[in-house]
Structure 1
């Protein structure tokens, strides 16, 4: 039986694994389907992680984390946890290959994924010009015009990133104010080739057999339709938490969640189910910053060690 099963290999899960193993737990496994590092590995620029004085990519920032954790005994199982149940103080994890694993405690650190905006043509053309990762796909539009949809930190940061390789970036937002840090807004406004297209809704993204060829936006003020011919559209309109592994057979969740599906925890990262913890972007009121997720993981691990005794 595992002392601790960590579901998710981003900053929260890795840090929890580091603190738990270094703190004395001998049987800790982190379940992560892909390469550990989490969603932050797709970010183009990280300039605000404490102690990191150079601007680096998310991939570079996370590069050494898994190796550090493994040094203290953290095991990585490349498998997807499909469900978590609890009976008689023992958790049972069922993985995608149909196997089960018992654990004394569980930490959910699955994070979140980019949310779809829901406009016409988005699903049809996703992966063929519609993207949620500027780092992954921006290179394909070098010297071309693209559109970025959204008004938060991620949208503005990725618009700035794309402006360095694309001839022009249309920043499309439904309001005329942004939900981003002042410094991020300043960076965006200082980019000469970013055009702000505000107070408008996306009517549709359209294309042909080759992919996206443009999008149409509707002004909330005049009602006019504007056609913006671009081969690439990047969508950054928030994220959805990954909580499916906690769903029970009756459709309920193993622990308390809010309306958005985020896991309700206290300051110790404890859920209302003894032995079950949540950390990082999957929990309520998460700041969605790497340093905060790492702090969550450390907090959870310290309290898990105390819980196991």
Structure 2
């Protein structure tokens, strides 16, 4: 994917979008169509997590599309509107009077009347051999996104919270077997959902156990997971087609830590207009305190954030 990196504008942007995933690119498109002076700031390749998704079958308009291809299409649309793409990383945001000042990793500073944060999250990793090498090839952090690729196959889910239990029940709808693995024998969920998991004939719950390795056996896709019981030290190998770690995610929001707009976990607290507690500062997509994190919901957030940011700009004139 060719990055269209533009020079930093010396003047004041109407809107700066931090992040160029689905929500960020959507916000930029909506802003550009309204003739706003707008730019995206992204430290990596445009597309975000979409680029790491092997196949997408739940995004309207595409029966099936590779994540990288969808990211390219989104980025190409931003370039149709000649939206600047600034390859940099935001280190800090401050607001002085009615202007936001963003300090970048490159030491440069940019000013904007409104800011839309769409930086997403970073999944907590298992940190075992094979995890990074097989990401997108059987290692997935989104059952809703990729689960249907493993119909009538066996998969592993890792975790002891609501995400792990709920996604295990979701996967059990169409896979042959779900092995839910947790490092302890206590869970961070209520008894009702524990009972549902234990009663489901397709789910096998293994406790006091950790993943030690993920193997591909020369197939370039997940074929085997090595597990170890933390009490007995017994090691086993499970033959599976995919593994879904659900051990938490880290919102990319440290640059806004001093603004008073984050919840205790670091997610942006927004209202139904994607507005934070700070006028002119909006957030969209996975980095917000949302209940569902999907491409479709991210796009929706991006559209709302841009539209209401434009209304904010009109009210300031």
The TM-score, its normalising length taken from structure 1, stands at: 0.74
Task: Indicate the residue corresponding to 2:26 in structure 1.
Answer: 15
Q: Does 1:114 align with 2:123?
A: yes
**In the aligned structure 2, how far is the partner of 1:231 from the partner of 1:182?**
20
**In the aligned structure 2, how far is the partner of 1:289 from the partner of 1:155?**
8
1:21 partner SS = helix
Unaligned runs of 5+ residues in structure 2 are 1-11, 179-201, 215-223
Task: Indicate the residue corresponding to 2:217 in structure 1.
Answer: none
Task: Indicate the residue corresponding to 1:35 in structure 2.
Answer: 45
1:107 to 1:174, Cα distance in 2 relative to 1, 3 A: closer
**In the aligned structure 2, how far is the partner of 1:181 from the partner of 1:202?**
17
Alignment check: 8 A CA contact 1:174 1:198 kept: no
Task: Indicate the residue corresponding to 2:212 in structure 1.
Answer: 205
**In the aligned structure 1, how far is the partner of 2:252 from the partner of 2:69?**
24
Unaligned runs of 5+ residues in structure 1 are 139-147, 248-252
Deviation of the 1:65 alpha carbon: 0.6
Alignment check: 8 A CA contact 1:269 1:279 kept: yes
Task: Indicate the residue corresponding to 1:141 in structure 2.
Answer: none
1:19 partner SS = helix
Task: Indicate the residue corresponding to 2:229 in structure 1.
Answer: 217
The counterpart of 2:266, out of the listed 237, 261, 272, is 261
The counterpart of 2:143, out of the listed 150, 153, 157, is 153
Task: Indicate the residue corresponding to 2:71 in structure 1.
Answer: 62
1:254 partner SS = coil
Deviation of the 1:7 alpha carbon: 0.5
Task: Indicate the residue corresponding to 1:51 in structure 2.
Answer: 61
**In the aligned structure 2, how far is the partner of 1:280 from the partner of 1:213?**
32
1:116 to 1:213, Cα distance in 2 relative to 1, 3 A: closer
Deviations 1:13-33 (A, max 9, x none): 0000000000221x2110012
**In the aligned structure 1, how far is the partner of 2:91 from the partner of 2:169?**
40
The TM-score, its normalising length taken from structure 2, stands at: 0.73
Task: Indicate the residue corresponding to 1:184 in structure 2.
Answer: 171
Superposition CA RMSD, Å: 3.5
